[in-house]
């Protein structure tokens, strides 16, 4: 990475070596980091990255809105009812071969 870059990880914890990132950020290369995921979830409060002034962390819960919870509940009930009615929604079945 260029020394002037910022690292942003919102994908998966573990794809970034947190120890190496801490060392690099402490040296100012890259300039900073934005982290939404960590190797250990939930991240321990004593994670050394939390102490760095050039790191911003978020709780990996952007999708956890009230509306998302409502939609998840409605979808789950619809899926259950479709199975009880004998017509499961194929789009929501992972192992579609069991329906054949």
**Active-site residue (options: 12, 71, 78, 90):** 12
pLDDT in tens, 44-69: 999 999 999 999 999 887 678 899 99
Is the backbone of residue 67 left (phi > 0), alpha (psi -120 to 50) or beta? Answer: alpha
Residues present in the chain in total: 100
Domain count of the fold of the chain? 2
Catalytic site residue 66?
A: no
**Active-site residue (options: 29, 40, 41, 71):** 41
Catalytic site residue 91?
A: no
Same domain, 94 and 70: yes
Residue 35 lies in a domain: yes
> Is-contact 33 25, C-beta < 8 A?
yes
Same domain, 21 and 43: yes
Question: Dihedral sign, CA of 59, 65, 71, 77?
Answer: positive
From CA 81, how far away is CA 69, in angstroms rounded?
A: 18
Same domain, 43 and 73: no
- Which range marks the domain in which residue 88 is found? 66-99
pLDDT in tens, 70-97: 999 999 999 999 999 999 888 888 898 9
Catalytic site residue 90?
A: no
Same domain, 72 and 46: no
Q: What is the pTM of this model?
A: 0.63
């Amino acid at each position: 990475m260029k020394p002037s870059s910022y690292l942003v990880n919102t994908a998966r914890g573990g794809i970034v070596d947190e120890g190496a990132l801490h060392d690099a950020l402490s040296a100012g290369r890259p300039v900073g980091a934005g982290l939404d995921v960590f190797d250990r979830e939930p991240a321990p409060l004593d994670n050394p990255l939390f102490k760095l002034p050039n790191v911003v962390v978020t709780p990996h819960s952007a999708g956890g809105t009230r509306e998302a919870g409502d939609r998840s509940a409605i979808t789950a009930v619809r899926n259950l009812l479709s199975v009880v009615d004998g017509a499961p929604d194929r789009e929501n079945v992972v192992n579609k071969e069991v329906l054949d």
